[in-house]
A and B are shown apart, each in its own frame.
Chain A
Amino acid sequence: DIQMTQSPSTLSASVGDRVTITCRASQSISSWLAWYQQKPGKAPKLLIYKASSLESGVPSRFSGSGSGTEFTLTISSLQPDDFATYYCQQYNSPVVFGQGTKVEIK
């Protein structure tokens, strides 16, 4: 089974910071990776699909990159609404989520 490992588990940052979250797959998943944002008590929201494609309606400060086994989610300038938990998800075989990265206020 494919394992997904996110790092860091927790990230402390300030408004305006550039933030990068990494997701590593235990074997190649091509570009079949998505990123989600989840706030407390809410369902996850799709941000990025196919590693780097921005979901409609998602601010352009979010971007994704990578292929194969290493992927990154970048927030170019952190906004107050961005403090949340972020998950990666591979859908190459068949579906596995990463363990999550909590972005908290520094």
Chain B
Amino acid sequence: QVQLQESGPGLVKPSETLSLTCAVSGYSISSGYYWGWIRQPPGKGLEWIGSIYHSGSTYYNPSLKSRVTISVDTSKNQFSLKLSSVTAADTAVYYCARGRGSYPLIGAFDIWGQGTMVTVSS
């Protein structure tokens, strides 16, 4: 059974960098698929942040691209998100998810982590 689990600080100060990790169990990231991040501000809808292909190719939301870095560590079977220069508008529940597509399509997100709340505040 494939499972994803987010981890990272729940509170980040404005202008700092938000860093989250998603640990994958039950499936080897290097075997395939896309691995991505989606966020949801309180009371609002879903926003795709970006995804990384198992080979390391990255795809980012154009509105966030200048601040986002997604990387993968196949030795630990996990992938990570860094979002720089955060503001209160980045306060959200952050989900990691598997995109079940094949190149070049990311596909539908079939497996999700439980989500982690990140608050940006001083």
Residues of A that sit less than 8 Å from B by CB? 1, 32, 34, 36, 38, 43-46, 49-50, 55, 87, 89, 91-92, 94-100
29 A-B residue pairs with CB within 8 Å: A1-B62, A34-B108, A36-B46, A38-B46, A43-B97, A43-B112, A43-B113, A43-B114, A43-B115, A44-B109, A46-B110, A49-B100, A49-B107, A49-B110, A89-B46, A89-B48, A89-B108, A91-B99, A91-B105, A91-B106, A91-B107, A92-B105, A94-B106, A95-B51, A95-B59, A95-B99, A95-B106, A99-B45, A100-B45
- Chain B contacts of A45 at CB under 8 A? 112
Q: Main secondary structure on chain A at its contact with chain B?
A: loop
**Once the chains bind, are A44 and B112 in contact (CB under 8 Å)?**
yes
**Which residue of A32, A50, A95, A99 is within 8 Å of B48 (Cβ)?**
A95
Chain B residues 25-44 with CB under 8 Å of chain A are: 36, 38
- Shortest B2–chain A CB gap in Å is 13
Cα–Cα distance between A73 and B48 once the two chains are bound (Å): 21
Closest-by-CB residue of A relative to B59 is A94
- Shortest B96–chain A CB gap in Å is 10
Chain B residues 7-60 with CB under 8 Å of chain A are: 36, 38, 45-48, 51, 59
**Which residue of A46, A92, A99 is within 8 Å of B109 (Cβ)?**
A46
Cα–Cα distance between A43 and B112 once the two chains are bound (Å): 7
**What total of chain B residues lie within 8 Å of the partner, measured CB to CB?**
25
- Shortest A29–chain B CB gap in Å is 10
- Shortest B68–chain A CB gap in Å is 13
- Shortest A22–chain B CB gap in Å is 16
**Which residue of A32, A94, A97 is within 8 Å of B46 (Cβ)?**
A97
- Shortest A60–chain B CB gap in Å is 18
Closest-by-CB residue of B relative to A1 is B62
- Shortest B116–chain A CB gap in Å is 11
- Chain A contacts of B99 at CB under 8 A? 91, 95
**Once the chains bind, are A44 and B105 in contact (CB under 8 Å)?**
no
- Chain A contacts of B38 at CB under 8 A? 97
